[in-house]
Amino acid sequence: MPPPAGVAELVDADDSKSSAARRVGSSPSTGTTPRETPRIDMKYCGNCGNAVEFRVPDGDNLPRAVCPSCQAIHYENPKLVVGCVPEHDGRILLCKRAIEPRLGYWTVPAGFMENGETLAAAAARESREEALADVTVGSLLAVVNIVHAHQVHVMFRAVLPAPVFGVGQESLEVGLYLPADIPWPDIAFPSVEFALRRYLDDRSQGAERVHFADFDRGSWTRPIPA
């Protein structure tokens, strides 16, 4: 499903500056670490509607949104973003985004995992939604911690069995691209570029490895950039 209006679908480095992106869960720019800064946009208890307060509950060690009326503790944890790199006959399926953040930039099919589905099902669903493509999800390709945005991006390899696809509601254009034609400067998110580059490296070596990386506030922190 597309995200609710006003809520960013994916948040990476540059998008954390926008208010729309911040609503998903980027930390406020207080100069403190993410572990010290609960989200600032929760005002009311989802259980009873009373105003919440931020404090460290008994037995815990981090501030939480706590309801002083019904005592509910509203935990905030990282969200999973799931996608895949679909290939057909040596070409990669890419989508030009029709929504913010990164409207007009290119991505592979990816988005927030829904309750009740598996990682592979989420990757397949996003391919259907964004590219009207029925892909066969394959091996795990990359796990990227987007630390400041409180997200983990999980990317799979995938096969598009036939060159059948279309322009989904969240896309402006969808196409199959030879590796040499991938618009690298216009790739929407660092995690997508990471997954695409590792995918192509592995493919050229006949390998299917799993790659891990951490991205925090505009920089790769693992692997450490050269």
DSSP 14: G
Q: What is the dihedral of CA 219, 222, 225, 226, to 10 degrees?
A: 170
Q: How far is the CB of 8 from Zn ion (least distance, A)?
A: 27
Rounded to whole angstroms, the Cα distance separating 148 from 94 reads 26
Q: How far is the CB of 79 from Zn ion (least distance, A)?
A: 23
The smaller minimum CB distance to Zn ion, of residues 67 and 131, is found at 67
Q: Quick one: how far is CA 154 from the chain centroid?
A: 8
Rounded to whole angstroms, the Cα distance separating 90 from 3 reads 31
Rounded to whole angstroms, the Cα distance separating 168 from 186 reads 19
Interface residues toward Zn ion, by CB under 5 A: 45, 47-48, 50, 67, 69-70, 72
Q: How far is the CB of 78 from Zn ion (least distance, A)?
A: 24
Q: Quick one: how far is CA 150 from the chain centroid?
A: 10
Cβ–Cβ < 8 Å for 125, 198: no
Q: How far is the CB of 51 from Zn ion (least distance, A)?
A: 9
The smaller minimum CB distance to Zn ion, of residues 51 and 210, is found at 51
Rounded to whole angstroms, the Cα distance separating 218 from 13 reads 4
Per the structure block, which two tokens stand in for 74?
A: 């509203």
The smaller minimum CB distance to Zn ion, of residues 64 and 97, is found at 64
Cβ–Cβ < 8 Å for 133, 65: no
The smaller minimum CB distance to Zn ion, of residues 69 and 139, is found at 69
Q: How far is the CB of 70 from Zn ion (least distance, A)?
A: 3
Residue 194 has phi, psi (to 5 degrees) of -60, -50
The smaller minimum CB distance to Zn ion, of residues 72 and 167, is found at 72
The smaller minimum CB distance to Zn ion, of residues 67 and 154, is found at 67
Q: How far is the CB of 43 from Zn ion (least distance, A)?
A: 12
